[in-house]
Amino acid sequence: MVIQYINSNFATHFYKNMLIVDVRDSESIDRALKKFKKKFESTKTLKELRRRKHFTKPSVERRSEILKAKFRDSYSMNNEL
């Protein structure tokens, strides 16, 4: 059953964030749950929630990105043969 909303802005927001898993009659609930978990992980919702849990200043984010880039660069230079 699909509910039609009067406020279309709410409906588009609601359906944009909703996961839909197609399940056949012959499939088990375990298979459907596996599909749901895979789709949920691919949306990176949990990762985003964990990132938003604590506020980090933009300067700190930039600094950590620069440090990560330096690490990747030094790692690739050391492993390059």
Q: How confident is the model at residue 45 (pLDDT cuts 50, 70, 90)?
A: confident
Q: Which domain holds residue 19?
A: 8-79
One-letter amino acid for residue 33 of the chain: L
* Residue 53 resides in a domain: yes
Q: Is residue 64 part of a domain?
A: yes
Q: In the predicted model, is pLDDT for residue 5 greater than 70?
A: no
Query: How far is the C-alpha of 36 from the C-alpha of 60, rounded, in Å?
Result: 35
The predicted model scores a pTM of 0.51
58 in a structural domain: yes
Q: What is the mean pLDDT of residues 72-81?
A: 85
Amino acid identity at 38: K
- Would you say residue 2 lies in a domain? no
Assigned token pair, 19: 């996961």
Point out the least confidently predicted range of 13-17, 60-64, 77-81.
Answer: 13-17
In 3D, which of 12, 33, 36, 32 has the Cα closest to residue 24? 32
Using CB atoms within 10 A of its CB, is residue 35 exposed (0-12), middle (13-18) or buried (19+)?
middle
Take residue 70 and report the two structure tokens written for it.
Answer: 């330096």
User: Residue 67: inside a domain, yes or no?
Assistant: yes
